[in-house]
Structure 1
Amino acid sequence: MKGRARAGGLRARLFALSLALGAGASAAGAQECRLALVLGFDVSASVDAREYRLMMGGTAAALRDPAVRAALFAGVPVALAAYVWAGRREQAVVADWVVIERDTQLAEFADRLEGYARPTGDPLGRWGGRTGVGAALAAGSRLLARAPVCDRQAIDLAGDGENNDGPDSLLLNGITVNALAVAGNMPLDEFGALDGVRLYYARRVIQGPGAFVIEAQGFGDFARAMRVKLLREVSPPLLGAL
């Protein structure tokens, strides 16, 4: 009797352990993430109020696009966060990390971006409006340091001009940096005479496996360019490419 009781107790403990392990595996599976993507938006002095609305509203529209939604929800989830940046001491988090697993989460993220008021001050005083590209990359890397655990990490930096405050770039190990270059605000950048901002981002900013630049022809073209870039970033890789 005692032997059967001990055997029964052992079976009960093993059964409880199997349940705990199964719950742990389910929890671990729920945290799976294929990409941690942080969106960084230039709000320096070269971006006026109208252009700011086009940039943030255009990003929200791109996130709501059916093709982008389908790519985001294809397979293992994507984690998103966003921030704005200007000079080397001027960055602010717009939307903190969320693993996009439901339509409501994506809608809330898009609404947050579209409704975010442009910052006018920080603890050090009024935002000066200069352009600190290297500092913006550092801010993105700090956000990624506390991102959910994902297979890949990427910064998506959008801007319309070259650095003029602090370091003009930053080398980031294990992080892909893509860019959305807005043409039109640099000298000779109109009408394709000289792709100054696109070339600057291509030479000084993008880095990591498969890094690329997408160009918007002015802020009125921002929504289209962001849609193209998001599709390229968040679409799951083809099996043949693995």
Structure 2
Amino acid sequence: MAVSARAQQTPNAGERVDVELVLAADVSLSMDSEERRFQREGYIKALNSPEVLAAIVEGGWGRIALTYVEWAGEDSQTIIVPWTLIDSAATMKGFTDRISDTPSRAYHRTSISAVLEFSAALFDANGFRGMRRVIDVSGDGPNNQGRPVTESRDRIVAQGITINGLPVMIRAPGSGFFDIADLDRYYEHCVIGGPQSFIMPAVGWDGFALAVRRKLLLEIALKPDQPVIMLAQAQTESRPPPDCLVGERIWRDRGWRFDTP
């Protein structure tokens, strides 16, 4: 059963782990029920992969702290699985079983800024002490509600929290009212931040679990399973940076079409 942040039961205070990791998955209405199912299955498959499990147990402490959140609009964040100590295949299986056993629901709007702030608050008094604190956010569109995403990102990064991104680039650009071209560049310039932050685009559902697995390996072990990884780079591109308020502008121009914002 999904629980609120305040309802979480904390484990032993200050238990040492290699990383405290929030997995934040988009369930806005731009994803239909089949796409939400693919997303969950991708996370479950990646989390239970031998490579990810080996990276966990081979870490300095041999364990991580993990929580799984689904999100959409400014007031739509749900903790699907609260903070859990992961130190074996059995504890990971229990974690992912709770993901699969919880009904999925979609919500209106997309507020990356709100889920970043919600996720950052989850580190407070969670009962763990990680060498790193990481928010791993996946989504298929830009921020269109709440505080500007760059404001939230900068405030969270200043707390020593790293934000990584998995832009979900499944449909052709322009196939939906609120889709944008180059979602990966938007995530790179507007969403991620902090030490060793990176994006890992998922192009097509067939490659979603693979992208999640590669991202988890970087987040847990700080090393890729393959040398070709799309890391955040210095802004040396010849193109101008993307508009970090593009989602808000699109909603302002097109949102009137929808009865329920």
TM range (shorter): 0.7 to 0.9
Give the Cα–Cα distance (whole angstroms) in 1 for the partners of residues 184 and 172 of structure 2. 10
Output the amino acid matched with 2:79. Answer: V
Residue 188 of structure 1, CA deviation = 5.1
Return the match for 2:186 from 197, 200, 204: 200
Look up the match of 1:164: 144
Question: Match of 1:57, SS?
Answer: helix
The number of residues matched between the two structures is 201
| Residue 145 (structure 1) aligns with | 124
Once the two structures are TM-superposed, the CA of residue 236 in structure 1 deviates from its matched residue by 5.8
Instruction: Note the 1:89-238 alignment, pairs <5 A.
Output: 89-119=75-105, 127=107, 129-147=108-126, 148-169=128-149, 170=152, 171=154, 172=156, 173-185=159-171, 187=173, 196-235=182-221
C-alpha distance 195-66 of structure 1, shift in aligned 2 (>3 A): farther
Change in CA separation of 1:88 and 1:174 when aligned onto 2, cut-off 3 Å: same
Percent of paired sites with the same residue: 34
- CA distances 1:77-110 after superposition (whole Å, capped 9, x unpaired): 1110110000001000011111212322111111
Of structures 1 and 2, the larger Rg is shown by 1
**Which amino acid in the other structure matches residue 18 of structure 2?**
R
For residue 152 of structure 1, report the CA deviation from its aligned partner: 1.0
Specify the alignment match of 1:50 in structure 2.
34
Distance 1:167 1:220 in 2: 33
Higher helix share: 1
Measure the CA separation in 1 of the matches of 2:191 and 2:105.
Answer: 24
Contact map agreement 2:162 2:197 (CA 8 A) in 1: yes
In structure 2, what is the Cα distance between the partners aligned to 1:160 and 1:195?
11
SS of match in other structure, 1:167: coil
Partner of 2:58: 74
Aligned partner letter, 2:140: D
Q: CA deviation digits over 1:104-131, x for unaligned, max 9? A: 21111111223321136xxxxxx4x100
Taking the aligned partners of 1:101 and 1:231, their CA distance within structure 2 comes to 15
5+ residue gaps, structure 2: 1-11, 224-261
- Counterpart of 2:19 in structure 1: which amino acid? L
Query: For 1:195 and 1:209, how far apart are their aligned partners in 2?
Result: 27
Shift in Å, 1:186 = 6.7
User: 3-state SS of the aligned residue for 2:200?
Assistant: strand
CA RMSD between the two structures: 2.4
After TM superposition, give the deviation of residue 62 of structure 1 in Å. Answer: 0.3
SS in 2 for 1:155: strand
Q: TM-score, normalised by structure 2?
A: 0.71
| Alpha-carbon contact 2:110-2:145 (below 8 Å) kept | yes
Q: Any unmatched runs of 5+ in structure 1?
A: 1-26, 121-126, 238-242
